[in-house]
Amino acid sequence: MITALITHPDCLEHVTPAGHPEQVARLEYILRALKDKDLQRIKAPMGSEDDIMRCHPASHITDLRSALPNVGSRALDADTHMSPGSLDAAFRAVGAVTKAVDMVMSGEAGNAFAAIRPPGHHCETSTPMGFCLFGNVAIGAKYALEHHGLKRVAVVDFDVHHGNGTQDLLWNEARALVITSQQMPLWPGTGERSDKGGHDNIVNLPIPPESAGDQMRALYTSEAFPRLRAFKPEMIFISAGFDAHQDDPLANLNWSTDDFKWLTQELCKIADEICDGRVVSALEGGYDLDALAEAVAAHVDALMEASA
């Protein structure tokens, strides 16, 4: 089978203020890095409100619609902004993840990467934050459980910032295991080991600043991978943030491109063992444009090797 790349031009229409790290160029660099790869290229549909409301109340959607500017930019907080195209982009981001789930479940694709923005893993139940408007991956996880009837899913989040939104949205979901590694201390300041979820279903793996990839590999090998194998999810979601890269300007970890590829390969191996290789990955962070493009290309190469 082949790896699906799911994206949409609307995701380029989410325009942030000049100098903002979560910029249109991030997706442009990624798509350029992937343009010659043998991928099944799919245009993301619009996500449905019903799917979004698996995680967020209707009032959250209403509030975002009310905040949408007709021109220019509107700040929801110091970090999170909306332009006239932002809400369509956010709906496409949700649609990309649910489409990825559909394709992997049906066997149309061996696995899938959703090249989307805005990202999602900081958006809490009713609070957009950290550049994020909807909890894309959490919505995908609930969709897999409730629409496709899976019994267990797992989310692995290797973004350098803690996925506080995913933790919030899946805290009481016994059918979802959430494993998240993050630099600590670092914004948003959450992600303590003591945060274990309502059903011992949250695994936080704090990593000290200036750590390199060998420490990440040891931590995942000793803690994350055994939890995944024990839980036996029927699909693995990856919140694929690339801001732990040594060149990233927003954090202080020192992972290499090879570290991201290794981690993806290991997750795909576990998926092959326990859930027929079902992996859905979605873009989160990564803010050095060249490092981001290189690391995403390596991540997608690993997905392609696994689906071949």
Active site residues: 122
Q: How many Å apart are CA 110 and CA 104, to the nearest integer?
A: 6
Q: What strand order describes the sheet that includes 176-183?
A: 40-43, 3-7, 111-114, 279-283, 236-240, 153-157, 176-183, 202-207
Cβ-proximal residues to 173 (8 Å cutoff; 6+ apart), any chain: 141, 142, 145, 198, 199, 201
**Cα Dmax for the chain:** 50
Q: At what angle do helices 86-106 and 136-146 cross, to 10 degrees?
A: 40
* Cross-strand pairs, 155: 178, 237
**Cα dihedral 225, 228, 234, 238 sign:** negative
